[in-house]
Chains A and B, each alone.
Chain A
Amino acid sequence: MGTDIKPPPQAQTLRVRSGEVELAIKVYGAADQTDRQPLIVLVHGYPDSSQVWHKVVDPLSARYRVAAYDVRGAGDSSAPAHTAAYELDHLVADLAAVADAVSPEQPIHLVAHDWGSIQGWEAVSTARLRGRIASFTSISGPSLDHAGYWVMQRLRSGAPGELAKFANQLMHSWYIGAFHLPLAAPLAWKLGLDQLWPKLLERFEGIHTESSPSQTRDGQQGLNLYRANVARRLLAPRERRTSVPVQLVVPTRDRFVSLELLEGIEQWVERLWRRDVGAGHWLQLSHPELVVRYVSEFVDFTSGGEEPAGLHRAQVRGFGEAAARGRYAGKLAIVTGGGSGIGRETLLALAEQGAEVVAADIDLAAARRSAELAELLGATAHARKVDVGDAKAMEAFAAWVAAELGAPDLVVNNAGIGMAGSFLDTSTADWDKILHVNLWGVIHGSRLFGKQMVAAGKGGHIVNVASALAFTPTRMLAAYATTKAAVAMLSDCLRAELAGQGIQVISVCPGVIDTPITGSTRFVGVSEEEQKRRRDGARRLYQRRNLKPQAVAAAILKAIEQRKPEVLVGSEAHGARLLSRLSPALTRRLARMELSL
């Protein structure tokens, strides 16, 4: 997009005639490479030109032949005289002309963004290019016909929830209406929007680019895309089906296309993959490495290569209800201590909403059982035996995840043990034991998987299970509360560090939850018999409170959805937090109390 960016030296420029216009194509990738190498055609959207791909063409052209062209009216391509010449039929004819010029024999792999993607849908679902497209990666641009059906279905159902989705999409599409205003929109581009555009991108999308020399013209001419097509297609949509494998790459924070618009899309596509990315509309500018990886994986797979785990996870299977993907479909979640209590329930709640899950637990049988239950809920699930406090074991586990499943999207560092009793009774061995699991487990999990998530660049969530005792001192649980306070602080610091990477760090502070931890809590400084008596007492107390691990799991999922940094579970947790802030003195006073179990 920037003027200083020149096509790499090996780029070859072609001009191809299509109807009344001449299209400018840049072809990348060494000419001496064999023609059998897959050829990728990149189609840009509005108000861009082929320059919008500048961050991805280099890495892609290292492995493939790549062609990027300027759509009619944009960049170096010429513009037709009439609005009608922007109708989708002509745009598909342009793509066909490009495909014939750069890859006359072999089918092309299509990668398209925004309006380019709208054209792409038309190309894969109509006759003109049948057999000429091997795969289609669609970024942020639905088929107008699919959208038309989507609107009709919402309006016909009349259900308030469905109408709300329609209203939401309307709010995302305000600009389409504005683009139909005569004079105003073109005038805006002429009166300085072109200069303002990079600033707007930076301000609202966090993307740094420079003004393109053709920006005014791209902005103005491109309006015809909307004027020539939107109303016609939305009001009278036609059935558009395709047997071309389609990979949807969906930026979930897209300001211009709502996620709901993709509901039911599987009815039109025989083989569909969907990968959600926590990012804005211009993914090829904000996350170029990610786009390169997704495109490469899909091109390789559809050219007969293996299906990597991440891609496999992303395939949409079934129709309608069956394909009604949970929120976490296509996501990979790791849960430590996943064999029981809060870990198991969180794992199951994620599995229920479509995530692929890994239960890690020191008790392999328990982890296997959790995985089995997750499979009953329709998820793909794995079980691994891991001692979370053991650095080597965790490194091996993380390496296994990276190699077999790819970087996770969610990591729940939940494994923990209980320990009760006074500080002076807590031996060095006791401290080693509890720090090993409660603190080192969270350190290893956050560090190893955090690195993987940053490297993968797709964002995600790290959930660290602390406790309300993280901010509630008590003489009765010195070691336990100390480890949990450390987990909370670790999470606070890590949250700050990963904020720029799109990785959300959540600390979970449950109150009195009835889990198996009460049955195995070590009571320091007392006899075995007394320990058993106190365990029974604690268990009864926790049972009477009757707050279930399911409640924590539900709170964790809600915190993920609402992007909350911290989640308290149970009125006692909220009360303790309030008290610790309102009256630290009273909190210190209460810490002296000893409850007899």
Chain B
Amino acid sequence: MSQDAGRNGGDGGNAGWDPAIADLDGFRRAQRLAYRCAETIAAQLRPGITEREAAALMQRWLAANGANDCFHQPFAWFGDRTAFRGFIGVRHLGGFNPAFYPGGRKLEKNMPYILDCAPTLQGYTADIGYSGCLGSNRILEKLMDDLLEYRQLILDLVRQRKHLSEISQAVDRLCARHGYEPRHKAYPFQVLAHRVEKLEADEGRHLSILNFGVRNIGKLVGDLARGRREGWSPLWSSGQPSDHPPTPGLWAVEPHLGFRGVGAKWEELLVVTAEDAFWLDEDVPQVRRWSSRGLLPLAQAA
């Protein structure tokens, strides 16, 4: 794990970003909190629970554990909604589809689920995605295995300083080769990733509108405006606005794969510095899973 990024003074590129070790630790704490939340609530899921109830459990857990703001309030998707099938997959209003929000779908045995939460802890925001299944699901297992390749591909290409749109297109091609649907295309603005920024640390509760945290979205809008002046975009997709080298900063990367009625994703913060890039934390559930399945050493040797 490269925790020495703070050494990298540099000019921080167009964003002028210089990650301090203290800041990265803060983000790492927020990401660990988010993953602990997902794992805790995942362990409590039982057949019959609805998406809305699961999302509420996460929300309560986060609040009880110190989160006082969010990028977005927790999402939960069950069954074929994990693959964004049906109405939820309709792209309109730039992908702001109301079906995106947790609904009344009940969890059943062997059904895949995705929990996605983005808490802010002392001004540091994380955004994570966690896939699982109550029982067993061969397709989900395969998707989760294959998601490893995406984590490596994205990091490799960012380190090669490929343009973000090119990297996103490489992800699209990998999906095509795998035979999966890139379901992050159904996200708002078809994003593979988006920026997160540090907020003021305070104790108060903060406002969310339509499940999105006002302060974090405000930062994103600020980034959009700044990016427009400086020639980059905080919304990383395959399109023209992302046709620029990796911008230093923190990116919440979220490849989301779908095959038939099953979807899976992970979401992690990627630290991009002026010259390098690394995943904020290697101690995350998906990496532990790949490691326990013996996929990691093989892939690293390859």
Instruction: Check if B179 is an interface residue, CB within 8 A of chain A.
Output: yes
Would B142 and A369 count as touching, CB distance under 8 A? no
CB neighbours of B260 from chain A (8 A): 352, 377
In the docked arrangement, what's the CA distance between A532 and B176, Å? 19
Across the interface, A340 reaches (CB within 8 A) one of B138, B139, B176, B259, namely: B176
Would B177 and A366 count as touching, CB distance under 8 A? yes
Interface string of A467-481 (1 = CB under 8 A from B): 000000000000000
Interface string of A350-372 (1 = CB under 8 A from B): 00100000000000001001100
Would B176 and A369 count as touching, CB distance under 8 A? no
CB neighbours of A376 from chain B (8 A): 138-139, 142, 259
Number of A-B contacts (CB under 8 A): 19
In the docked arrangement, what's the CA distance between A366 and B178, Å? 8
Q: Which of A311-358 contact B (CB under 8 A)?
A: 340, 344, 348, 352
Instruction: Check if A448 is an interface residue, CB within 8 A of chain B.
Output: no
In the docked arrangement, what's the CA distance between A377 and B178, Å? 14
Interface string of A129-160 (1 = CB under 8 A from B): 00000000000000000000000000000000
Q: How many residues of B contact A (CB 8 A)?
A: 9
In the docked arrangement, what's the CA distance between A370 and B177, Å? 9
CB neighbours of A369 from chain B (8 A): 177-179
In the docked arrangement, what's the CA distance between A376 and B177, Å? 16
A516 nearest CB across to chain B (Å): 6
Would A370 and B176 count as touching, CB distance under 8 A? no
Instruction: Check if A401 is an interface residue, CB within 8 A of chain B.
Output: no
Instruction: Check if A234 is an interface residue, CB within 8 A of chain B.
Output: no
What is the chain B residue whose CB lies nearest that of A375?
B138
Instruction: Check if A576 is an interface residue, CB within 8 A of chain B.
Output: no
Interface string of A44-83 (1 = CB under 8 A from B): 0000000000000000000000000000000000000000
B156 nearest CB across to chain A (Å): 20
CB neighbours of A516 from chain B (8 A): 176
- From A340, A376, A516, residue with most partner B Cβ within 10 Å: A376
Instruction: Check if A498 is an interface residue, CB within 8 A of chain B.
Output: no
Q: Which of B176-208 contact A (CB under 8 A)?
A: 176-179
In the docked arrangement, what's the CA distance between A516 and B179, Å? 11
A341 nearest CB across to chain B (Å): 9
Interface string of A372-397 (1 = CB under 8 A from B): 01001100000000000000000000
CB neighbours of B259 from chain A (8 A): 373, 376
Interface string of B249-260 (1 = CB under 8 A from A): 000000000011
What is the chain B residue whose CB lies nearest that of A365?
B177
What is the chain A residue whose CB lies nearest that of B142?
A376
In the docked arrangement, what's the CA distance between A376 and B145, Å? 13
Given A344-B179, A369-B178, A376-B142, 16 more A-B residue pairs with CB atoms under 8 Å apart are A340-B176, A340-B177, A348-B179, A352-B260, A366-B177, A369-B177, A369-B179, A370-B179, A373-B179, A373-B259, A376-B138, A376-B139, A376-B259, A377-B139, A377-B260, A516-B176
Can you give 19 A-B contacts (C-beta < 8 A)?
A340-B176, A340-B177, A344-B179, A348-B179, A352-B260, A366-B177, A369-B177, A369-B178, A369-B179, A370-B179, A373-B179, A373-B259, A376-B138, A376-B139, A376-B142, A376-B259, A377-B139, A377-B260, A516-B176
